[in-house]
Amino acid sequence: MEEKNMITLTIDKHEVTVPAGTMLLDAAKTVGISIPTLCHIDLKGTCVQNMPASCRICVVEIEGRRNLAPACATRVTPGMVVHTNSARVIRARKTVAELILSDHPNDCLTCPKCSDCELQRLVMRFNIRTMPYNNGEQSVRKQELTPAITRNMEKCVYCRRCESVCNNVQSVGVLSAIRRGFNTTIAPTFDKMFSDTNCTYCGQCVAVCPVGALTERDYTDRLMDDLSDPDKVVIAQPAPAVRFALGEEFGMPAGTIVTGKMATALRDLGFDYAFDTDFGADLTIMEEGAEILHRLKKFLAGDKDVKLPIMTSCCPAWVNFYEHEFPDLLEYPSSAKSPAQMFGAIAKTYWAEKMGIPREKIVCVSIMPCLAKKYEAEREEFKVDGNPDVDYSISTRELGRLIKRANIDFVNLPDSEFDSPLGESTGAAAIFGITGGVMEAALRTVYEVYTGKTLPHIDFNDVRGFEGIKEATIDLNGFELKVCVAHTLSNARKVMDALRAGKLNYHVVEVMACPGGCIGGAGQPYHHGNIEILKARAAAVYREDEGKALRKSHENPDIQKLYKEFLGEPMSEKAHHLLHTHYSDKSIK
Amino acid sequence: MKTLNFEDLTKIRKKAQATLNMRELSYAAVSEKSCGLAVGTEHIELLCCGGTGCKASDSAKIVDNLKAAIEANGIADKVEVIVTGCFGFCEKGPIVKVMPDNTFYTQVTPEDAEEIVKEHVIAGRKVERLLYVDPKTSHTVSDAKHMDFYRKQMRIALRNCGFIDPENIEEYIARDGYAALAKALQEQTPEQVIDIIKQSGLRGRGGAGFPTGMKWGFARNYQAEEKYVVCNADEGDPGAFMDRSIMEGDPHSVIEAMAICGYCINANKGLIYIRAEYPLAVHRLKVAIDQAREYGLLGKKVLDSDFDFDIEIRYGAGAFVCGEETALIHSMEGKRGEPTLKPPFPAESGYNGYPTNVNNVETLANVPIILTKGAEWFSSIGTEKSKGTKVFALAGKINNVGLIEVPMGTTLREIIYDIGGGVKNGKEFKAVQTGGPSGGCLTQKHLDTPIDYEHLTAAGSMMGSGGMIVMDEDDCMVSVAKFYLEFTCDESCGKCTPCRIGNKRMLEILTRITEGRGTMADLERLKELGEIIKDTALCGLGQTSPNPVLSTINNFWDEYVEHVQYHKCRAHQCKNLVTYSIDPTKCKGCTACARKCPVSAISGEARNPHIINPDKCIRCGMCISTCRFDAISIS
């Protein structure tokens, strides 16, 4: 039976046997033939996939067929004879690339994607030395600078990866093809600006863009200025997921944990204090955990109005998503701020008071795997008299660029510790950077606080892994706590639609907008469609957790101290004021 | 009306045939003697073309006036006005045909209506001035059968157009309409029907020529809860209007064929994808669908059998690429109308992911008659691999503009010179463009080529949907190629690189050439780029878009070279390559041209020779048409 489903064909004189349904591109890979692609992306195991077969870079010659066929979307058939490098193919591919270049600014030297650009790589690979079709008309396309994303659509090669993720992965549906022919472009309906749409700034369009059409809003120059200003106290707070990916920017293997090197680099860059968002993550668990317990107790006491499930609120793109699309359900998400914002609020109150530094002198910079964080930092509700708790946010990639600019030999840096007191964290905080991690961290604390017992098994394997929607049931002294974990906003939408329809039977739900959670965030080094990179980062997350002496947020001594000295207890009035927020209807009317 | 069963249908047919009998008989034999009521004719029918073309020439008003005149003369009980579909001879429209004497009146105006009624209908005297004049003999011809335009035609797909009232289902039934459906449901298995279609050799008339029976067979083989029959009525080739005419003139043939196809592939739902700018065709289809439902020929239990089938109309916004079947399906799904890679073919995964069979209007119109007359009858017409007939829309510099249907294998010469009446104004034939923007140009040397799928492809063109645009010595072939490429650039969906950017770059090169800025290297680049676009584009539109350029380069190389090397356009169409000048020996200084020139490029004293400033001149030709002394020339 198994043999029946296998297909044998010939690719460049290699005999290949692959399962039926395999695309030529993948079949060729099994014999070491790497066919060039541009529009194609397939982050296997996630729903990130784009194969419109439209760029025509991957064309191959199939004997008996009149035209060249795209390898990315042509299924193998028995006895097929394929040539991936005939003169006809090589010439056609080169011409197609030349055509793309003829409607591209070709300002590679100053492009933010220079050296990380998939088109540039093709140009080198195809040995293109002239641009015979240039000097023609250039299509006119929009540019836009949002708080999170920079759009420079002149560079767009119309691969439509962004459209696929925006629609199929995130179900946000902001991006689609508009106009026809040469003037076709990918844009919001009626060529609106992102800022006039329900864009969540998740940035997954940026994460998959092969060229420099969609990039992050760059704050590195602003940060350079702040770092060199002697009147400012610049503090850094890198997010949990950054340390598992930053090394890739320096050629280190994916999954290398660079926590210590990063702390050193931050100080070398001139940050006055290198703190850690992980501290904020532990704090988040204290507040969100208390809120979970609060709602559960009400529920168990028979309160019919209690809003369950309670939903996590750490992910800023997810917050934007429900504010835009589910304004009727805003009472369900936890009111807890994200770790980065909690950190900012504490740094500019508790720590500022402790150090005797006026709030205005402190520049709190978050370093995030995320682009939506840039927008989050600008939210009015996170400002005190116009001064933001987090001044601005830079991505993992921007930190990488800064380190290079500052002549720091990152790979050979010695390790160092984060500064105290906002640098101490537990393993529970480390796993915030991956889908299921916030849930697992919360469960570790909720279980112990609720039952008064020590957890028998600290790992909650049911909520780990890349499956789109995961479920688990936890026995809390006989009460079955049902939890759900969703990543990507299309999966979140399924959960929200079920909630709206009254068909959702969970007590706690975690949502992260990016595939895989923050390790697959839009601010991380580009994965270029290689799922192995995400897997390696995921493994590193759990390695870091296992290696920690403390793995439960409520055991973090500095957190305990913070409550003792300043906040009182979780959900106290002060905690509520500083660490909780509210949501508003932001639907596009 | 109650749902009909097979017997009811037969009864209706017999009754309707009696009514239509006069038209049938008079079509076969001219009844000169029965001209007018004066000679005792008991019943007269005035068939008036109600197609879009004639309607644009006020044929609706002609119908009103005819009816008013009939009423005024008190002969309404004996004389009937029937609005039909297109007669095809659009050059001479609007057409009014009088039955039973089969008199064919051309270029009728609303003012002529009264005369036709008084003179012809009542007094029995033909209105000579409205008769067709044979250009060869200068004699009038009153019966269409004797006109060269019709003599070599064979109307199968157009069999009912211009003959029946498309808004009267019983006239269709009288012409063996719905007999094929009834027979299939009553006597034949779906496989048997598909076999007949296969044996007939019918191939898709939308352009690519895929065997219809095979297509139906594929769709039948895929099992699914739902399946769809889609009629592709997204006719988009410039100048082509056969599908529109069939839907306007014989909508039931399409409906019947869709139901038969539904029976064969096990689909219960039909969708007609039609462009919204065909309002008359939409109206006629709606009327026909309603009537078919009323007669139990659509809906639950068709003809009281176990087969359910109904049809919905879906509107397209007029994008050319939506004629490509995957793009068409996406458009119907509410998505952007752009093609996706095949396979999967619609037969496997089509509308909303269900198996779908897409056929063009003309293809479908052939189906019922093949089933009533048999596969052998159909396959006896045409050439070895191309069976039956093909409808062509004759346009351009030809005397008889219109819609014609000829057996496959008819030569270009027969079509252009016999049916088409030759090139307008006695000019020299230069080329004929077939296949629309996907096709190419055929020349003198192809005049005796039999027209079928294979020969057209071999000659570097293609069948396409059947547009035929005739060009004469005044047409510049570089400009013609540029026109078609402009069309493709406008209509490209923009999805794949070769079509989106490649065609644009080809157009830029062509523009350079027509402006005298081209180089010989440009010509080589055009050829090279054209071949690569054909080889790499995603859909049929892109894969054929370079054809007009490549075929003109191939057939008119000298003309391209003239543009490039000598900056010369022999047809004087490329404005940047011509100069207007006034011959001082002929110019009388009348100042007429100077007064007409829109950009004041002409100067001179009255009664003295004028001159044209070439820097100001926009080559609009206004001066030439104004000059009474033939003093202005183009060089």
- pLDDT tens sequence across A185-218: 999 999 999 999 999 999 999 999 999 999 999 9
pLDDT of B108 strictly over 70: yes
Tokens for A552, please give them. Answer: 């439960």
Q: Do B219 and B320 have their domain in common?
A: yes
8 Å CB contact of B341 and A56:
no
CATH number of residue B236's parent domain: 3.40.50.11540
Tokens for A422, please give them. Answer: 């906002």
Q: Do B352 and B241 have their domain in common?
A: yes
Q: Do the beta carbons of residue B554 and residue B460 sit within 8 Å?
A: yes
Q: Can you tell me the distance from the alpha carbon of A112 to that of A125, in angstroms, rounded to the nearest whole number?
A: 20
Residue B403: inside a domain: yes
Residue B611: inside a domain: yes
8 Å CB contact of A181 and B489:
yes
Residue B372: inside a domain: yes
Chain A nearest-CA distance from B103, in A, is 50
Residue A384's contacts (CB-CB under 8 Å, 6 or more residues apart) are A348, A359
Q: How confident is the model at residue B471 (pLDDT cuts 50, 70, 90)?
A: very high
Q: Do B280 and B207 have their domain in common?
A: yes
Residue of B348, B500, B507, B517 best to disrupt the A interface, most CBs of A under 10 A: B500
Residue B13: inside a domain: no
Residue B297: inside a domain: yes
Q: How many CB atoms within 10 Å of residue A304?
A: 6
Q: Do B204 and B348 have their domain in common?
A: yes
Q: Can you tell me the distance from the alpha carbon of B265 to that of B218, in angstroms, rounded to the nearest whole number?
A: 8
Q: Do B432 and B536 have their domain in common?
A: no
User: What is the H or E stretch that residue B84 is in?
Assistant: strand B79-84
Q: Do the beta carbons of residue A84 and residue A187 sit within 8 Å?
A: no
8 Å CB contact of A67 and B535:
yes
Query: What are the φ/ψ torsions at residue A317 (nearest 5 degrees)?
Result: -70, -40
Q: Do the beta carbons of residue B492 and residue B321 sit within 8 Å?
A: yes
Percentage, residues of chain B above pLDDT 90: 82
Q: What is the CA radius of gyration of chain B?
A: 27
Q: Do the beta carbons of residue B269 and residue B110 sit within 8 Å?
A: no
Q: How many CB atoms within 10 Å of residue A448?
A: 16
Q: Do B345 and B452 have their domain in common?
A: no
**Reported pTM:** 0.93
Q: Which residue of A has its CA nearest to B544?
A: A67
Is B538 part of the contact surface with chain A (CB cutoff 8 Å)?
yes
8 Å CB contact of B535 and A88:
yes
Residue of A99, A131, A211 best to disrupt the B interface, most CBs of B under 10 A: A99
DSSP 8-state secondary structure symbol assigned to residue B4: P
Q: How many CB atoms within 10 Å of residue B230?
A: 25
Q: Do B348 and B250 have their domain in common?
A: yes
Q: How confident is the model at residue B28 (pLDDT cuts 50, 70, 90)?
A: low
Name the active-site residue from A58, A518, A544, A552.
A518
Q: Do B435 and B411 have their domain in common?
A: yes
Q: How confident is the model at residue A46 (pLDDT cuts 50, 70, 90)?
A: confident
Residue A1's contacts (CB-CB under 8 Å, 6 or more residues apart) are none
Q: Do the beta carbons of residue B236 and residue B197 sit within 8 Å?
A: no
Specify which residues A274 forms β-bridges with.
Answer: A236
Is A53 part of the contact surface with chain B (CB cutoff 8 Å)?
yes
Q: B315-350 burial by CB neighbour count: b if 16+ within 10 A, else e? A: bbeebbbbbbbbbbbbbbeeebbbbbbbeebbbbbb
Name the residue among A258, A14, A208, A159 with its Cα closest to residue B497. Answer: A159
What 3-state class would DSSP assign to A203?
coil
CATH number of residue B593's parent domain: 3.30.70.20
Q: How confident is the model at residue B350 (pLDDT cuts 50, 70, 90)?
A: very high
Active site residue A573: no
Of B475, B500, B532, the residue that ends a domain is: B475
Residue B526: inside a domain: yes
The dihedral sign for the CA sequence B588, B590, B592, B598: positive
Q: Can you tell me the distance from the alpha carbon of B289 to that of A290, in angstroms, rounded to the nearest whole number?
A: 66
Active site residue A29: no
Q: How confident is the model at residue B29 (pLDDT cuts 50, 70, 90)?
A: low
The angle formed by the CA atoms of residues B419, B422 and B423, to the nearest 5 degrees, is 140
Of B322, B356, B377, the residue that ends a domain is: B377
Name the residue among A414, A352, A336 with its Cα closest to residue A387. Answer: A352
Q: How confident is the model at residue B635 (pLDDT cuts 50, 70, 90)?
A: confident
- pLDDT tens sequence across B32-53: 666 788 777 888 999 999 999 9
Q: Which residue of A has its CA nearest to B536?
A: A68
Residue B44: inside a domain: yes
Domains assigned to chain A: 3-125 (3.10.20.740), 143-216 (3.30.70.20), 284-336+425-579 (3.40.950.10)
Q: Do the beta carbons of residue A486 and residue A469 sit within 8 Å?
A: yes
8 Å CB contact of B495 and A182:
no
Name the active-site residue from A334, A366, A395, A425.
A334
Q: How many CB pairs under 8 A join A and B?
A: 103
Contacts of A88 in chain B (CB under 8 A): 535
- pLDDT tens sequence across A430-452: 999 999 999 999 999 999 999 99
Q: Hey, which residues 147-176 in chain A have their CB within 8 Å of chain B?
A: 158, 176
Q: Do B188 and B308 have their domain in common?
A: yes
- pLDDT tens sequence across A131-190: 999 889 999 888 999 999 999 999 999 999 999 999 999 999 999 999 999 999 999 999
Q: Do B250 and B197 have their domain in common?
A: yes
Q: What is the ipTM of this complex?
A: 0.94
Count of positions (residues) in chain B:
635
pLDDT of B124 strictly over 90: no
pLDDT of A56 strictly over 60: yes
CA atoms in the 13 A half-sphere facing the CB of B478: 32
Q: Do B246 and B108 have their domain in common?
A: no
DSSP conformation letters of B481-542: HHHHHHHHHHH--S-SHIIIIIHHHHHHHHHHHHTT---HHHHHHHHHHHHHHHHH-SSHHH
pLDDT at A2: 46
Residue B105: inside a domain: yes
Please tell me the total count of domains within chain B.
5
> Mean pLDDT lowest for which of A109-113, B144-148, B153-157, B348-352?
B144-148
Contacts of A179 in chain B (CB under 8 A): 494
Of A67, A103, A176, the CB nearest to B501: A103
CATH number of residue B145's parent domain: 3.40.30.10
Most confident of A526-530, B29-33, B146-150: A526-530
Active site residue A34: no
In the predicted model, what is the mean pLDDT of residues B336-343?
Answer: 93
Q: How many CB atoms within 10 Å of residue B312?
A: 11
Q: Do B462 and B556 have their domain in common?
A: no
Active site residue A381: yes
Residue B293, burial from CB neighbour count under 10 angstroms (0-12, 13-18, 19+): middle
Name the residue among B69, B108, B61, B70 with its Cα closest to residue B87. Answer: B108
What 3-state class would DSSP assign to A206?
helix
Q: Hey, which residues 480-509 in chain B have their CB within 8 Å of chain A?
A: 489-498, 500-505, 508
Of B565, B590, B620, the residue that ends a domain is: B565
Domain that holds residue B42: 19-151
Active site residue A334: yes
Percentage, residues of chain A above pLDDT 90: 97
